[in-house]
Amino acid sequence: MSDSAIFITVATEELKQNGQLPGDLRSLRNLADSGERVVHFETVTDSPLPEKTQNALHMAGSILHVLPSATDTTASLVGGLMSRLHEFICAYPHVSQFILAGADVDRLAGAAAFLRRAGFYVIIAGPDRSRLDAVRNVCDDVTSWSGSGRQSASRERDKEDASSKLDPFEVLVEEITKGRKNGNRVLLTSLKQRMRKRIRRFDETRLKDKDGRPMRKFKDFVVDAANRGLIQLIEKGNASHVLLPGEEIPENDEEETIEEETPRKEKGRGKKENVDPLLDNVDMVDEGEDNGEPEEEKDLEELSEKDFDVEKLDEEADAPPGDFMELLEKTIPEKGYTLSALLRELASKREKGELEYTNRQIQTALQNAFYNELLEPATEEQPVTYVVVDDWRDIIDFL
């Protein structure tokens, strides 16, 4: 069992009018897996908090550390947090994970980088998704911390509780079994994506192989599963194929055969037999045809919900462009958008010149986002609203 510590930094000016903190306190505890103990919960603030806020922190099990008054609030909170972290690490060196939360996550970046260099696993939680992306490189994970409603916190808690109980090796075998039953090739890139969907905080670097050695990358995890006899790992060209135990290694995958044959097919006019070889090499333009240049595909006049399949998954689908996903992340509110509302918003951005995509390009990019599960339902209620998954950048990197 490993131990976790939670530290919050908050300035009194960042409290809401009713004295509430930027996010739900229980959601921070839920970031710790079921096998982890939260041994310390502390809030660092620049001045005394309202009584209502203090009571809420007390009920959540957090101690309160009020810093001396200072003219520069940010410098005071950053320095105060680092001081408290040093004291805590000296008193309790066996903690393995730190959860740092605050309204301004930029204040947490220095502390997160320090803890990570020291070998701790660090999660940063904050209410602003755009700022979370900016600090992603100094920590191990980021998560949205908000008090916009219990439904969001409950949804995250349910996902964490369910996924934390899963055995990574069992999930690996289950996902490979699903793919092979459907006749699909199972590649490492899509496999890690599926693992992270089943176990939201899956991180192979936190695991050890059967000989007790730490894993450095996802392939080490798959190789260890093969060494345990759970799966087969076959290197084929530049790709690593994963099969079930006892499954025969296919000489040629059906999909590869199709991919090899496709380029050989002639586009346009079919090749005629018994044609004069001299005439065959002459460029001829038939009546009604252009001079060989591809005709530009006409753009779609308007997009509707009927143009998308939100249920289908396609592992062979391309990843949507990163700038398009960034736009979706900034556009979609935390409560989510219905598909129709999202299409209206994208159409509005096109009209304003904020989105330089054709409707056909929007259709392709948005459909690929659904194919790769980069958009997920925010609620189970109807009509369904969608939000961008927190780890979409990591998923795109593996596609």
pLDDT digits (tens, 9 = 90+) for 237-246: 666 678 899 8
Q: Is 63 exposed, middle or buried (0-12, 13-18, 19+ CB in 10 A)?
A: exposed
Q: Is the pLDDT of residue 69 over 60?
A: yes
Mean pLDDT score, 101-121: 90
Q: Is the pLDDT of residue 91 over 50?
A: yes
The residue among 356, 394, 357 whose CA lies nearest residue 372 is 394
Mean pLDDT score, 152-172: 63
Q: Is the pLDDT of residue 351 over 60?
A: yes
**What average pLDDT is seen over the chain?**
79
pLDDT for res 334: 83
Among 11-25, 68-82, 288-302, the minimum mean pLDDT is found in 288-302
Higher-scoring residue by pLDDT: 112, 94: 112
pLDDT for res 184: 74
pLDDT for res 293: 53
pLDDT for res 283: 47
pLDDT for res 270: 43
pLDDT for res 344: 93
Mean pLDDT score, 97-104: 93
Mean pLDDT score, 321-341: 91
Q: Is the pLDDT of residue 82 over 90?
A: yes
Contacts 24+ apart (CB under 8 A), 241-249: 241/185, 241/186, 241/187, 242/176, 242/186, 242/187, 242/188, 242/191, 243/176, 243/180, 243/186, 244/173, 244/176, 244/177, 244/180, 247/180
Mean pLDDT score, 187-195: 73
Task: Assess contact for 141 and 105: CB atoms under 8 A.
Answer: no
DSSP-based helix, strand, coil % in the chain, nearest 5: 45, 15, 40
pLDDT digits (tens, 9 = 90+) for 255-311: 443 333 334 333 344 444 444 444 444 444 444 555 555 555 677 888 999 999 988
pLDDT for res 129: 77
C-alpha–C-alpha distance, residues 172 and 222, integer Å: 8
Tell me the residue type at 137.
N
The percent of residues in the chain predicted with pLDDT above 70, rounded, is: 76
Mean pLDDT score, 107-128: 90
Q: Is the pLDDT of residue 124 over 60?
A: yes
Q: Is the pLDDT of residue 361 over 90?
A: yes
C-alpha–C-alpha distance, residues 201 and 391, integer Å: 10
pLDDT for res 359: 92
User: Band of the pLDDT at 66, cuts 50, 70, 90?
Assistant: very high
What is the CB-side half-sphere exposure of residue 243 using CA atoms within 13 A? 14
* CA angle 193–197–200, rounded 5-degree value: 115
